[in-house]
Amino acid sequence: MFSVILVEDEIHILNYMKKKLAASGVFQVKEAFSDPEKALEGFGEIMPEVAFLDIEMPRMNGIELAKRLIAKKPDLRIIFTTAFEQYALDAFGVEAVDYLMKPVGDEDIARVIKRLKKTSLANIEPKADLWGHKINSVNCFGRFEVWDKDNRLVNWPTRKSEELFAYFLVNQGRYISKWELLELFWPEVETERGLNNLYNTVYRVKQVLKKLPSTTQVQKINEGYILLGDEFLSDIGSFTGFVSKYENNPQMPVDRAEEIYFTYAAPLFGLQDYAWSISLQKYFAVYFKKLCRKLLQGYWEQKLFEKADKAIRHYLTQHIEDEELVLEWLELLKNWEGREKAEEDFKKWLNEKLREADLPVLGELIPESDY
């Protein structure tokens, strides 16, 4: 159950939202405010997980309130409500989980619940090996999390410092000039001010790195920086390290390949929509697909159907739109002796996933008689 505060200046809508959220059985409304300033004053005593905020309010609108609440609790999840569609871009500018048009209906609440559960920190546990030791301090596939020495999630001092660390991370071991960072992170800012922003943000990143269990550090070299640390700092480091070593090596260790394969999830960095990460998402998706094909081939040769079925479903859970691999798997199933019913089961499962993703059912692959 998610603890919630509501902020809405129209009393009848406030009462409506209280009843709506309570009826879901998923939200516990800790407090409901009709005055945004009072909500800000009382927030420190409540510290909820989620805030439903109306955007159009007197004295302080919902976007400004969200910024102030996030400053007090960086992991607060925001859902905006409004009657005016033009606010959408501003709302997502403060990284809202969702944006609801009034009147809010049952489908809206169901969508919010689905998104919150997907990103809920309460359901996240650090990855561990067979002995219970954590494998990576930083998770980037499907979500962006940094764990400290005490296995607690790190709260970043600013969103810019979090993003800068993410950029260092995907460029681990590569020298990055300060001019590259200025152009990427502060392109509209005058040079001197941009450099001050960069130095302050790098300092904040270094302070966070001191909390990690590894010896990772950002080192200044001449006119730039380099992130130093072992590849096991993050799941993407483990992934790229494995791929570079075994991409063209037929002696790929299957156990390690499976471990790497099942740590992958899309999208890269989860809901953190970094513009510079789009090409990287495509890069990892390509190698994830290659690894999937290698595993499927190995499972086919050894007649390990259950493992093959698990692998293809994991792949399509991340990339449900990949019709090419669907066709390859269906062709493989036709020749898999003793698995005559597997094709029908797979098609039904695929249809369910397509519907969940609001994608059209692949009628040419899955005849109507199969569902």
The tens digit of pLDDT for each residue in 65-77 reads 998 898 888 778 9
Contacts of residue 198, Cβ cutoff 8 Å, sequence gap at least 6? 178, 181, 182, 185, 186
Residues 6+ apart with CB under 8 A from 294: 252, 257
- Please report, in angstroms and rounded to a whole number, the separation of the first and last CA atoms in the chain: 34
With H, G, I as helix, E, B as strand and everything else as coil, classify residue 94.
Answer: coil
Q: For 115-159, list the strands marked E by DSSP.
A: 138-139, 145-146
The token pair at 234 is 């993050």
Q: In the predicted model, is pLDDT for residue 285 greater than 80?
A: yes
Place of tokens 């792949």: 315
**Crossing angle for the helix pair 278-302 and 323-334, to the nearest 10 degrees:** 0
Give the Cα separation of 144 and 142 in Å (integer). 7
Q: Model pTM?
A: 0.61
What's the Cα-to-Cα distance from 113 to each of 93, 116, 142, 245, rounded to whole Å?
Answer: 21, 5, 18, 41
pLDDT in tens, 75-110: 789 998 887 655 444 444 566 788 888 889 888 898
Average pLDDT over residues 14-33: 90
Q: For residue 9, what pLDDT band results from cuts at 50, 70 and 90?
A: very high
Residue 359 carries which side chain, given as an amino acid letter?
Answer: L
Other beta carbons within 10 angstroms of residue 361's beta carbon come to 16
